[in-house]
Structure 1
């Protein structure tokens, strides 16, 4: 895999595990989902080692979910994990495909043309409204309380749509924490996103990279379709991702790329990209099955060399891996 200066593979495994746990009992009621997250955090066989505890949330608004976990061995370390798409929820699907662009509203620079997808901004604003029912606090309220008397190291993470929303949540925190009437130096922010679709245009990407830099890592399976939405759609065809694109799907991809260009909704991925190694699935396997398998949370854990979760079947990549030794 490609290494960046501050990138920590073991930390990536922990954060991907926390991102996967955000999917726990995703179709249950609030109490069941909270209990499921707590139970998953307690499992010592995961990369998280049973050392993380749910301390805020889950906060849920319009089917967007996030939670905060604290590392019990290093109590100043927290993670904000944001759930990705649940296709049982129309609002999640809308956020994935609502690709028209709107101005990013939290920028500290004046007159900038920072544009993000309507769907991603809608998801972020849902998360901003989410409340932990037992604490009666939004995420912002909770973080203000945390940093009043102590230093906090917060990692923002998520998989798929959750990764896209994690990047927006991270830059929102960078931009707004200085206005919170707290000691901003008490909050150290970083991010690990996985399989994230593109959040915004080139001005937004450049703004994010200049402000956050190598404090956020965008971890990508090169054979995963999702990180190519909505920047790089044409590469799905030219680079055969995850395999040769079927003739019935080829014009859909070309049409989507043309439509985005025609509307002027040009996207650019964030920098600090970490490429995981490729495990090619034979072309005899159905294309859409390959798309799902390469994007799966357990496949990301497999490629990271981290234990997979019990939340979904084991990644099929191990069956086709020609280099089992990571």
Structure 2
């Protein structure tokens, strides 16, 4: 009987091979459409040029431009998606487009066939995350509701969720803290906030905003106050060897030290040191404290890192010590910052924190080339021969150098051995000041591959 069965099996006609799957069918089956798509489509009489990100957690985001008449309009929207056979139903959550609500559908096969290509979900670097957190600190600076801590908290939280490099990774745990100095309380002078990493709860980042262009006090008393310097006390050095920082940096640090988180934001009533002391006491593991910021925020991120380093250990007043056992590590990512202090301060910083400092500066950004003498000489011809800085700018640099010489003061960048990020001239900006501003803001986004993810103007002007 077994022989008959064996013969029957041998004589049976070969089974039909399953038809080969098309690429589209395989992508549909494997959910391989999850990722980032570059799309161009003509819809509702408008040309849409955008990136569409479909995440495996069922959320989506789209950003790009819509061609309105002859002028492109930037837009961003996001929400959640569900799959119904061969269609994605995208429910719209937030959108910068007028009258944009409800949902829309995407035919998955058409998406795969018509798009320019699937890039895949980007894997962002630590540098890209730090730059994003630094730029988020500018949220609402030029908006209608700047200067209100609870409003700024909402904006910061919004961008922490909206911006791809940091989406779903960080929580605000202190602040934002605001400094209101000068002639009016309607304009905030400084803003900083603290976030904790969801992936590693022992990692914190202190993000410090750069200059508020609406704050005359900040421009005159923080950024430009460089003709005088103040001592930076170091316990194990004789006073004559103490480093010095600019008067403006010293002023800014004094303000940041005193700030308490206001009612309605995390850490209410606590200063930054109070908060860190509380977190260290509550955690059995050592914490990693990172500082970052852009422009003045970059300068202050290095300065705050050094200040926090001085307040580790048990020597001196315990009321000011946030890490009595000196178990925590301090890291800094200063972005586009000018020199905070003199050569001794740079040496002191490099010795204490240099090994965990990643200073980022664009080779074509004027700001980080101030105020060290050798750097300022380079700044005078930074865009030549394509763009001349002009007599007034060069004369101002010469006058500043003369003033430093007469006052017997000097400046040096922290980690001045750092290689620059290589910038390229922006052809659309033909005037010196326009090129300088573009390099200082947009230049970093372009160099670090963030231009498609971060709209600096949208962050600055956000109001709700």
What's the TM-score, normalizing by structure 2?
Answer: 0.62
Shift of 1:137: 0.4
Residues 244-291 of structure 1: per-residue CA shift (max 9 Å, x gap): 321332212212222222211210111152411221134971110001
After the TM superposition, which parts of structure 1 deviate over 6 Å for at least 4 consecutive aligned residues? none
* Cα shift readout 1:215-261 (whole Å, capped 9, x = no counterpart): 11211101000011111211112444794321332212212222222
Q: Tell me, yes or no, if structure 1 residue 156 matches structure 2 residue 291.
A: yes
Higher normalized strand content (fraction of residues): 2
Would you say the 8 A contact 1:302–1:308 is kept in 2? Answer: no
Structure number with greater CO (CA < 8 Å, separation at least 6) is 1
Q: CA-to-partner distance for each residue in 1:186-231, whole Å, 9 max, x for gaps?
A: 3111000100000001011111111112211211101000011111
CA distance in 2: counterparts of 1:34 and 1:109, whole angstroms: 41
Corresponding position of 1:122: 251
Contact 2:387 2:430 in 1 (8 A): no
Residue aligning to 2:401: 257
Are 1:234 and 2:411 matched, yes or no? Answer: no
Aligned residue number for residue 412 of structure 2? 268
Please identify, of 264-273 and 197-206, the stretch whose mean Cα deviation from structure 2 is larger: 264-273
Q: Does 1:15 align with 2:133?
A: no
Instruction: Give the whole-Å Cα distance in 2 for the aligned partners of 1:137 and 1:289.
Output: 40
> Which residue does the alignment assign to 2:170?
52
Contact 1:24 / 1:311 at 8 angstroms: preserved in 2?
no
- Distance (Å, rounded) in 2 between the aligned partners of 1:13 and 1:19: 10
More helix by share: 1
Alignment of 1:210-229 (within 5 A): 210-229=351-370
RMSD over equivalenced CA pairs, Å: 2.1
Q: Is contact 1:59-1:65 (8 Å) kept?
A: yes
Change in 2 beyond 3 A, CA 1:284/1:24 = closer
The residue that corresponds to 1:171 in the other structure is 306
Residues 1-326 of structure 1 mapped to structure 2, 5 A cutoff? 10-27=125-142, 28=146, 29-43=148-162, 45-62=163-180, 63-93=189-219, 94-99=221-226, 100-105=228-233, 108-111=236-239, 112-134=241-263, 135-150=268-283, 151-179=286-314, 180=321, 182-231=323-372, 232-240=375-383, 243-271=387-415, 272-282=417-427, 285-296=430-441, 298-306=442-450, 307-312=452-457
Aligned partner of residue 312 in structure 1, secondary structure: helix
CA distance in 1, matches of 2:155, 2:271: 21
Q: Summarize the Cα distance change of 1:97–1:308 in structure 2 as closer, same or farther, 3 Å threshold.
A: farther
| Paired residues of 1:17 and 1:46 also in contact (CA < 8 A) | no
Output the CA distance in 1 between the equivalents of 2:235 and 2:425. Answer: 40
Q: Which runs of 5+ in 2 are unaligned?
A: 1-123, 181-188, 315-320, 460-464
Is the 1:83–1:161 contact (alpha carbons within 8 Å) kept by the matching residues of 2?
Answer: yes
Task: Tell whether the 8 Å contact from 1:163 to 1:196 is kept in structure 2 after alignment.
Answer: yes
Does the 8 Å CA contact 1:23/1:83 hold for their aligned counterparts?
A: yes
Distance 1:218 1:107 in 2: 26
Query: In the superposition, relative to structure 1, how do residues 198 and 107 fare at CA in structure 2: closer, same or farther (>3 Å)?
Result: farther
Deviation at 1:64, TM superposition (A): 1.5
Whether the aligned pair in 2 keeps the contact of 1:95 and 1:120 (CA below 8 Å) is yes
TM-score, scaled relative to structure 1: 0.87
Structure 1: state its 5+ residue gaps: 1-8, 315-326
Q: Kindly indicate whether the alpha-carbon contact (under 8 Å) linking 2:160 and 2:168 is maintained by their aligned counterparts in 1.
A: yes
Q: 1:243 to 1:210 in 2, by over 3 A?
A: farther
- Where 2:311 maps in the other structure, the secondary structure is helix
Deviations for 1:82-126, whole angstroms, at most 9, x for unmatched residues?
Answer: 010011012210200000111113554333230100100110111
Give the SS at the match of 2:288.
strand
Q: Is the 8 A contact 2:423 2:443 kept in 1?
A: no
